[in-house]
Structure 1
């Protein structure tokens, strides 16, 4: 087991080769060990982890899980997993995954329940635990599932769907003063973008000739730094066709930006820079107070009112499939179903 001493930092480091689960040979280097035996122990644990058997600890499985998903998930998703693991690893980090039993999971669940966490908080921790455990059972080829039959705790977050009608949005828009606020809210309402997608937009993403906005990225805030990531889902990479009036407004807005190039971000502002104007001017306009994300819901409600199909809405929003769209907005369609039935009745009466 090769370990090396760094004369500059006066610490030990490890450099070893391993074969990952896909059969690819890779090199791993880890620095900063105070003692040689600590370096050797880390290397032994690391190499054992890539054998992926029932003796692999849950803590190692969690580390491998995060390593694999980090390039594929948004910063906010990694943050969620890391936060939940703080409630799981104190109990299970050193436990071999093959030794985890149903009663131990239930005892952990009961401990979490005793802390009076919210239902959504409990649900998140339970879901993360199950996700990583199932990742481990697959990698380690375990013949059993300790979670089989274990009841979930907590409940998924459910919010009532709130939105503005077109008339309410127009009343709000008329009260706005700053061009950046006007343009941001116009894009959110008429395009249904997520807030991270809005903040990531550059001038090059807007094709004024074709009247299309290219959504290829999202902006997240991580430790006071802006981080550009892919959109939330694979289908999030999409083109949104915009109306002529919005293309004209965007052209006028971009002409106001000094030294605007294709790489210039159109909205170099924070979420709070929209939150406070939204709160202030919705009160002035005397329209219901809603969240910024509810402008996305408002866009959908507007499209449904115009008779746009769920499939077209799903593509415009960047949902993975139409079932997600129907799951969120399906209750807004009953009136449309009544209209269809009335049309069919009309055709039948015409025949008679």
Structure 2
């Protein structure tokens, strides 16, 4: 149906759709400034409803989000959503899906490669660039699989970024000790950082730990949940993968640190969170006290890499490392840490070749 002008000078869009029951329903939306806007709304609504590739990229993203939010963990969905809304949608927003060509994608890729991170005032890392590009690939793969897009133009455009960083940022045991010693006056951070370094668990797993997760008799930690602060609310979910549910053996040294910490808590119950805090506290203290210790700055997640490096350099086999970290497949561990095994091998061969 044509757009009509209302008495207040704005335009209305009126048209019919067929719902999933085969019923003919009339749709109407008022308040458009121009006739063109009213007609464009009708065209876009019908394209989206019928999953036609004449719909805008923005409409495709809306459908994609609706599909994903019921299939992913909340924090995973929010991460994807943030990348798409901030790094992808602004460029492709009004384009028709069918008009997005490899050349257009390469133009967007060029913008991403030259973009400046407003926080660091530096270009984004190539691993982050790879993550952004992968999100665009996933959206258009979704359109190919479910909405009859002939092919994904990203495949012809080629990829950008790197899957893995050139070098892994870690701390040695000596570097960690010089850092954590400065935090003895802050029990939450001191205990938390020791647990992170000596177990290799993720920050979300640390923040979800409760008193009953510490088994002093059998000397282990039970990892069965993860904590995030999402949109101002505390959210405790299942761990990242099924294999992330695990029991980690811990040393007498670490047990003693944890015991002293729990003894100072006010009337803890078995369900009391050990670290009633957020990731921000640990990020802040890592930045501040690594600077005071004169160390190169690493991320909290790099303490997990530091733990793995410590184990590998002390000849712990790859299967044990993989199980301790909670990786779903041993291949994941090998892909991340294979270079460390090569360094250990080179060191061994150097010793053997110089035995005299």
Shorter-chain TM-score range: 0.7 to 0.9
Name the structure 2 match of 1:193: 201
1:61 aligns with 2:68: no
Give the Cα separation in 1 of the matches to 2:176 and 2:87: 42
Q: 1:266: how far off?
A: 0.7
Given the two structures, how large is their TM-score scaled by the length of structure 2?
Answer: 0.71
Distance change (3 Å), C-alpha of 1:68 and 1:287? same
Give 5+ residue unaligned stretches, structure 1: 1-15, 20-24, 26-32, 346-352
Alignment coverage as a number of residue pairs: 318
Q: 1:289: how far off?
A: 4.8
Describe the SS at the equivalent of 1:182.
helix
Describe the SS at the equivalent of 1:219.
strand
Name the structure 2 match of 1:320: 328
Name the structure 2 match of 1:266: 274
Give the Cα separation in 1 of the matches to 2:41 and 2:317: 56
Name the structure 2 match of 1:75: 75
Q: 1:220: how far off?
A: 2.5
Give the Cα separation in 2 of the matches to 1:73 and 1:17: 34
Distance change (3 Å), C-alpha of 1:333 and 1:129? same
1:126-179 per-position Cα deviation (integer Å, ceiling 9, x unaligned): 322111011111112444332232122445572632333334434444442232
Name the structure 1 match of 2:167: 160
CA RMSD of aligned residues (A): 4.0
Give the Cα separation in 2 of the matches to 1:79 and 1:164: 27
Q: 1:235: how far off?
A: 2.9
Distance change (3 Å), C-alpha of 1:283 and 1:135? closer
2:228 to 220, 229, 238: 220
Q: 1:197: how far off?
A: 1.7
Give the Cα separation in 1 of the matches to 2:344 and 2:164: 28
Give 5+ residue unaligned stretches, structure 2: 1-16, 22-28, 117-122
Compare 312-321 and 271-280 and name the one that shifted more: 271-280
1:132 aligns with 2:139: yes
Give the Cα separation in 2 of the matches to 1:99 and 1:67: 23
Distance change (3 Å), C-alpha of 1:168 and 1:153? closer
1:262-319 per-position Cα deviation (integer Å, ceiling 9, x unaligned): 2211112243433454455556666655443332222112211221112221221122
Contact 1:220–1:226 (CA under 8 A) maintained in structure 2:
yes
Give the Cα separation in 1 of the matches to 2:286 and 2:45: 51
1:2-47 per-position Cα deviation (integer Å, ceiling 9, x unaligned): xxxxxxxxxxxxxx9977xxxxx9xxxxxxx7779x9xx9899678
Contact 1:58–1:133 (CA under 8 A) maintained in structure 2:
no
Give the Cα separation in 2 of the matches to 1:233 and 1:274: 24
1:238 aligns with 2:272: no
Larger RCO: Structure 1 or Structure 2 (Cα < 8 Å, ≥ 6 residues apart)?
A: 1
Given the two structures, how large is their TM-score scaled by the length of structure 1?
Answer: 0.72
Distance change (3 Å), C-alpha of 1:140 and 1:160? same
1:181 aligns with 2:189: yes
1:330 to 317, 321, 338: 338
Give the Cα separation in 2 of the matches to 1:92 and 1:339: 51
